[in-house]
């Protein structure tokens, strides 16, 4: 190789920053998010008000916590349909421990997180040990965990959550809702874990090709179980924070945390087949859905129509992303 060729090769090994940024699949979702945000600000005078922002942020926080877990599982090629009922059950249990058993609120929150981790472990352990598809298994466990909520509550909310933990749901830090701050911390941890640690690399490897990962000596099943545990704990955290926010433990907590996070992750570029996408993208997806749902309310769309409208916009967002990605690929 001549020196000139070498220099050429070295340059092409380090493609320009701009190109790298443009090629990053995250850009598609980010662009959609910004467009929707700007459009909402222009279209509705109420959108960018501090009050509305804190409503959107707080609402997003709970779903986003579950989305972090679900997207991590999707990177592995798994899906957990019981994350919603895990969040709900853990919220109920923390409420019962505090109110009915009079336990220290902090301790009961901690126990609820452990319960979430344990329920996640059950999902992961059964999936790996029985070699089931997690989607199928968690249809079953979602039924069990959801049934447990009804057995425990008989459908009645638990009221009288001690005020000392309510700031977890209602408080603010520099004007930012507390749940949103907690979600951001978790998001940072998850981004670091998935992109900067060997554990994260192994997650992508397993999602891409489980057999090849085993051939490389990666402890595939251990990592899969661990991610189920983390996802379970994150859902429990969402459940506990929502209980703190509402001041009551409602049996309906978590009902909307099943399909929303999956849709958010897909909008954000996470493939349901595994190995592709980022957690940050998934959270952008969740934010897109959150803003759309908010703007529909601000526009005064009839509640009966809200489902249809928000669903249609989700479909449009997904197709926009798919089309832009195909276009980018053609360009490169």
Partner 1 sequence: MAFLEARGLGRDFPGVTALDDVDIDVDLGRTHALVGENGAGKSTFVKLVTGTDRPTRGTIRIDGKDVAEHPEQFGLIAYVPQELSLFPHMTVTENLLMPFEKSGHRGLVRRKAMEIEAQGYLDRFGIEAAPSDLVRNISVPDQQLLQIARASTNTGMKVLILDEPTSSLTPIEVERVFRVIRDFHDRGVGVVFISHKMDEVFDIGHDYTVLRNGQKVEAGKLATTSEDNLIRAMSGEKLELGSAFRPTTARADAPALLTVERLSGERFENVSFNLHAGEILGFAGLVGSGRSEIMQTIFGYRKARGGRVTMDGAPWELGSTSASVGRGMLYLSEERKHHGIFPQLSLRENIGLSILDLTNSPLGIRARKENEAVDRIIDEYEIRTDSREKKISLLSGGNQQKAIIGRAMATDPRILIFDEPTKGIDVRTKAQIYAIMQSLAERGVGIILVSSEMDELRKCANRIITMHFGRMTGEFDTETTDNETLVGAIFSREAANV
Of residues 16, 175, 217, 303, which one binds partner 1 by CB under 8 A? 217
d(CA 209, CA 134): 16
| Residue 158 within binding range of partner 1, rule CB under 8 A | no
Helix 198-208 to helix 50-75 angle (10° resolution) is 70
| Residue 41 within binding range of partner 1, rule CB under 8 A | no
Cβ 327 to partner 1 shortest distance, Å: 15
| Residue 192 within binding range of partner 1, rule CB under 8 A | yes
Tokens, residue 14: 């380090």
In total, the chain counts a number of residues equal to 332
| Residue 323 within binding range of partner 1, rule CB under 8 A | no
Cβ 46 to partner 1 shortest distance, Å: 41
Of 192 and 305, which has the nearer Cβ to partner 1? 192
Which one of the spans 59-67, 98-106, 211-219, 239-247 is the region binding partner 1 (CB under 8 A)?
211-219
Contact 249, 161 (CB under 8 A): yes
Helices (H), the chain: 3-13, 17-23, 26-43, 50-75, 83-99, 105-129, 134-153, 167-170, 178-196, 198-208, 210-215, 220-246, 259-267, 279-298, 303-331
Q: How many residues bind partner 1 (CB under 8 A)?
A: 28
Which one of the spans 13-21, 49-57, 122-130, 224-232 is the region binding partner 1 (CB under 8 A)?
13-21
Binding site for partner 1 (CB under 8 A): 12-13, 15, 20, 192, 195-198, 201-202, 204-205, 208-209, 211-219, 271, 275-276, 332
């Amino acid at each position: 190789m001549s020196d000139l060729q070498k220099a050429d090769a070295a340059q092409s090994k380090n493609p320009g920053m701009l190109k790298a940024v443009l090629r990053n699949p995250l850009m598609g979702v980010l662009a959609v998010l910004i467009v929707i945000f700007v459009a909402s600000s222009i279209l509705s005078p109420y959108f960018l008000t501090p009050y509305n922002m804190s409503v959107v942020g707080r609402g997003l926080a709970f779903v986003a916590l579950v989305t972090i877990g679900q997207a991590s599982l999707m990177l592995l090629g798994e899906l957990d349909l019981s994350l919603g009922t895990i969040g709900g059950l853990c919220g109920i249990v923390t409420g019962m421990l505090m109110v009915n058993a009079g336990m220290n609120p902090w301790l009961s929150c901690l126990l609820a997180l452990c319960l979430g981790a344990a329920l996640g472990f059950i999902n992961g352990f059964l999936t790996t040990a029985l070699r089931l598809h997690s989607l199928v298994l968690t249809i079953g466990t979602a039924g069990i965990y959801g049934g447990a909520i009804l057995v425990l509550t008989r459908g009645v909310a638990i009221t009288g959550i001690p005020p000392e933990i309510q700031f977890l749901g209602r408080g603010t830090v520099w004007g930012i809702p507390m749940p949103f701050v907690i979600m951001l911390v978790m998001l940072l941890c998850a981004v670091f874990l998935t992109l900067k640690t060997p554990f994260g690399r192994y997650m992508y490897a397993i999602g891409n090709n489980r057999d090849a990962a085993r051939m490389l000596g990666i402890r595939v099943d251990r990592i899969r179980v661990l991610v189920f545990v983390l996802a379970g704990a994150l859902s429990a955290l969402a459940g506990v924070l929502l209980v703190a926010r509402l001041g009551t433990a409602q049996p309906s907590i978590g009902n909307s945390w099943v399909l929303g996070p999956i849709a958010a992750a897909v909008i954000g570029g996470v493939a349901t087949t595994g190995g592709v996408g980022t957690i940050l993208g998934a959270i952008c997806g969740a934010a897109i859905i959150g803003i759309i749902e908010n703007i529909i309310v601000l526009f005064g769309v009839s509640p009966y129509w809200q489902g249809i409208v928000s669903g249609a916009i989700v479909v449009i967002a997904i197709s926009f992303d798919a089309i832009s990605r195909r276009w980018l690929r053609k360009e490169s």
